[in-house]
Structure 1
Amino acid sequence: MTGGEIASPPDETRQTAGAQPAAVFARLDRLRARADFLRAARGRVAHAPGFVLQAREREEDDGPVRVGFTCSKKVGNAVARNRAKRRLREIARLELPANGRPGWDYVLIGRRDRTAEADFAEMRRDLVEALAKVHP
């Protein structure tokens, strides 16, 4: 190796290190249109200590799970809001592929002083419980 080169681990190490089921890495479709957020707000709601979950079943299709995230200025400054949304995105990425239902839209809303500070494992459990509430 010459100066400046970085050695990479062998291919087999990269493939097996931290291997998880394919469902964990499934990509979620994002809600981006305001109308989709408003329709989700009229759907089912589950309150958790670190966030609020809104959910609705789409009538028009049985397509993929779609998810949106929002944090108002009540959550804090831009740094706090972005941290809260990053955490919400991560729990959704980990839990929705296994626990969400195809053809449903979900919106996760951050809460003041809780979303950015709550225990991450607890938030994951709360999301699973909230999904169970909106899917009786």
Structure 2
Amino acid sequence: MTVLRHRADFLRAARALRRGTDGMLLQARHRDDGDPTIRVGYTCSKKIGNAVARNRAKRRLRAVVAEALLPGAKPGWDYVLIGRPGATIDREFQALKSDLIYALRKIHAQT
């Protein structure tokens, strides 16, 4: 699993599949490049709050991915997790994990 760093990768994921939950928005796309690496990106807008709040939201998203992404993720896919104002920081951690598992299941059911 690697981290998305380039803006173009985030933009391609934004045009692909998406699933919103109470705690986050998940965007996902199949790359079709033959590389089995799972890539993950994180983003939080200024609607979340100041830099401290945005970083806290991203840390929570990283922790959720570390615990819940691999069982539901597929090789060769890019995933972008987007924090939601008021929800990503305040939501219980177990609820965030179940949000991610639900979103992954729904996205892969569409393909």
Q: TM over 0.5: same fold?
A: yes
Unpaired segments ≥5 residues, structure 2: none
Bigger-Rg structure (1/2)? 1
Structure number with the bigger relative contact order (C-alpha 8 A, sep ≥ 6) is: 2
Give the partner amino acid of 1:81.
Answer: R
User: Deviation string for 1:45-68 (max 9, x for gaps)?
Assistant: 000101100000001124211000
Paired residue for 2:8, among 35, 44, 50? 35
Same amino acid, percent of matched pairs: 54
Find the residue that maps to 2:47 and give its secondary structure.
helix
User: Deviation string for 1:65-94 (max 9, x for gaps)?
Assistant: 100000000000111101000000011111
Find the residue that maps to 1:45 and give its secondary structure.
strand
Q: Which has the higher strand share?
A: 2
Aligned twin of 2:101: 128
2:50 equivalent to 1:63: no
Aligned twin of 1:108: 81
Offset at residue 130 of structure 1 (A): 0.2
Q: Give the TM-score taking structure 1 as reference length.
A: 0.78
Find the residue that maps to 1:73 and give its secondary structure.
coil
Find the residue that maps to 1:133 and give its secondary structure.
helix
Paired residue for 1:83, among 51, 56, 59? 56
Aligned twin of 1:6: none
Offset at residue 95 of structure 1 (A): 1.3
Aligned twin of 2:68: 95
* Matched residue count: 109
Give the partner amino acid of 2:62.
Answer: R
What is the root-mean-square deviation in Å for CA atoms of aligned residues? 0.7
Q: What stretches of structure 1 move > 2 A for 4+ residues in a row?
A: none
User: Deviation string for 1:101-127 (max 9, x for gaps)?
Assistant: 000000000010110110100010010
